């Protein structure tokens, strides 16, 4: 298990114990974290599971695939450090990861 903290746009923090091999999106859903809509269920066909990645974690994640980058291009005002949480697979190196959830997902 690894610990991941989700920070909502209003500053609430939800820290969960996530299973290795799961995704950041599925861990949020399993623990009832608000703000991760994930309309496509992790199929990489929407961008409703976006999260912001703090600078200290950006180089520690595997790079976004071309398909993920394409999905992010369709987002309104995507931040440079935005990722789709369905594409971040959890492994031991992510223990302590903190992500921010935007006010709205579209």
Residue 87's pLDDT is 96
Mean pLDDT over all residues of the chain?
92
Burial of 74 (0-12, 13-18, 19+ CB in 10 A): exposed
Q: Of 25, 24, 28, 81, nearest to 52 (Cα)?
A: 81
Which pLDDT tens digit goes with each residue over 46-59?
889 999 999 999 99
| Band (78; pLDDT cuts 50, 70, 90) | low
- The ranges assigned to domains in the chain are 2-100
Which pLDDT tens digit goes with each residue over 33-46?
999 999 999 999 98
Residues in the chain: 106
CATH superfamily, region 2-100: Beta-grasp domain (3.10.20.30)
**What SS3 state is found at 22?**
coil
């Amino acid at each position: 298990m690894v610990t991941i903290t989700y920070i909502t746009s209003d500053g609430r923090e939800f820290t969960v114990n996530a299973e290795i091999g799961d995704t950041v999106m599925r861990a949020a859903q399993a623990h009832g974290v608000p703000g991760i809509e994930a309309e496509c269920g992790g199929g990489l066909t929407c961008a409703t599971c976006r999260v912001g990645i703090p600078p200290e974690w950006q180089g520690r994640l595997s790079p976004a695939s071309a398909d993920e980058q394409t999905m992010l291009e369709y987002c309104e005002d995507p931040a440079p450090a935005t990722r789709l949480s369905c594409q971040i697979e959890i492994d031991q190196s992510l223990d302590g990861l903190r992500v921010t959830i935007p006010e709205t997902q579209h």
